[in-house]
Amino acid sequence: MTNNHACILPPLAELQGLLGLSETEAKARIAEACLRQPLQCPRCFGRETFARKNGRCGCRQCGCAFDLVDGRWMSIPSISARSWLILIKCFELGLNVREASRMAGVPRSTAYRAFRNIRLGLAAQDPVWAADPRIGVEALISNPMDGFLNYLRNWTARYRGMSPEEYPLYVKECQVRFEAQGQPLFERLLACVAAAKPIRVV
């Protein structure tokens, strides 16, 4: 019997569609994902924004000029649009940071930061986790879904040296993966990193 929650590392062919994208095509896809989200100024967090002729955005409240991805979880200047899509796919497939960095052509530290931002974005989508991740963990573990605790132990066993501060992010990731029942997560992950960071996040 096939376990829907099993993590099976697929062959390189699964990534070929994204690996074959040009940077222009990748930017268009990311812009589409960003424009599905409310646009806000990364400086004053105002919503009175507009598009400039040069492809950038502007804020009527503070006069700030900014790029479409500024102030979002994917706002990491060292990661190109194409690399972002590849990293998101690698995260979805359960590849580790080393494998993802090689696929995306970025340093391991950059891939790690991208993966962390994906997890932060997932947590930010849930009001309870966004307010206090510890409460989210406690609620989930004290009343777990059938089979979830075993899944959580098996999934997190691959990560060494995980800090207590980071642990809630991995628990939230496991919850999302478990509830997905093996269904694709790419579009959800893309949407979460295309979302604006909460005002309290620096």
The domain segmentation of the chain, as residue ranges, is 13-37+72-194
Q: Does pLDDT of 143 surpass 50?
A: yes
Distance of CA 100 to the CA centre of its chain: 14
What pLDDT, on a 0 to 100 scale, did the predictor assign at position 14?
Answer: 67
Report the DSSP pairing between strands 49-51 and 65-66: unpaired
pLDDT in tens, 171-183: 999 999 999 987 8
pLDDT at 131 over 90: no
68 exposure class (CB count in 10 Å sphere: 0-12, 13-18, 19+): buried
Give the type of residue at 71.
Answer: G
Question: Please, are residues 178 and 4 in contact by the beta-carbon 8 Å criterion?
Answer: no
Cα 68 to Cα 116: distance, rounded to the nearest angstrom: 21
Better pLDDT: 86 or 162: 86
Angle at the Cα of 63 from the Cα atoms of 59 and 67, rounded to 5 degrees: 55
Per-residue pLDDT at 191: 95
pLDDT band at 158 (very low <50, low <70, confident <90, very high): confident
Phi, psi of 172 (to 5 degrees): -65, -40
